[in-house]
Amino acid sequence: MHRPGLHEGSSLVLHHGGVDDYADFGRLCSAVYVAARAGAVDCTAAFDLAASWLEDDPQDPDATELATLSLDCARAGQPRMAEVALRLLAAHDFRPGFAEEPGLLARLEEAMDMVNRDLAATGVHRRCRLRVHDDDGLNWPVNAYVETWDGYRGTAQGVYPGSGANPVWALVDVAEDGQDAVMHSLWAAWPLCPVHGLGAHAREHEGAAVWWCAGGGGHAVTPVGEW
């Protein structure tokens, strides 16, 4: 599912040269993010982050302030340093992954449980599981994906970490990826609308995650997890 600001998540920046630079800078962003969320940023890491942005944009006000705070490295300045670091990361398109925000994956796991309920309710008494792609050692944000009981997975890019930031997004995106995987395993449409016999699809409707049927002009069959 396309969600602006979620599906292209990356802790990497284009002006940092090759793969090694990407990996090193990704690790730096990740470390600063985690520390800033805890309210205690390492001054050296903060300065390195600020300096990297100032090389590209010497007038960046947040990078300038972060560099100044990190050079001073006063205990009293830690809360402000954390605030500025997080704002700088957000402004430059850093999006935390599962490593930085484990709660994102936990919410997707809860959504997987709900989709498994629908599997059982529709007569498929096997469970899917949520897995996470390997980052290949590059420290890139990685997606989760649904895998069926017999090893099938969907053909799309999986579920982005940002989907776990909202319970409705989590349900819709896990259900969508799970449906793709399940249909590969069953070699049949799933789930089917009991009224029209058409394949239903996960979508957000009136603030909820639902299975939607296009029959009869379109209607919600049931909330995801409540088949």
CA–CA distance, 82 with 65 (Å, rounded to integer):
11
Q: How many CA atoms lie within 13 A of 40 on its CB side?
A: 2
Look at residues 174, 128, 125, 133 and name the one whose alpha carbon lies nearest to residue 151: 128
CA–CA distance, 130 with 148 (Å, rounded to integer):
9
**Residue 192: strand, helix, or coil:** strand
Model confidence at 4, pLDDT cuts 50, 70, 90, reads: very low
> pLDDT tens digits for 66-113?
999 999 999 999 999 999 999 999 998 888 999 899 999 999 999 999
Element (H, E) at 152: none
Pair 195, 86: CB distance under 8 Å: no
pLDDT above 50 (res 18): no
Pair 108, 163: CB distance under 8 Å: yes
> pLDDT tens digits for 139-188?
556 899 999 999 999 888 899 999 999 999 999 999 999 999 999 999 99
Average pLDDT over all residues of the chain: 88
Q: How far is CA 35 from CA 28, 63, 66, 164, in A?
A: 11, 17, 14, 21
pLDDT above 50 (res 11): no
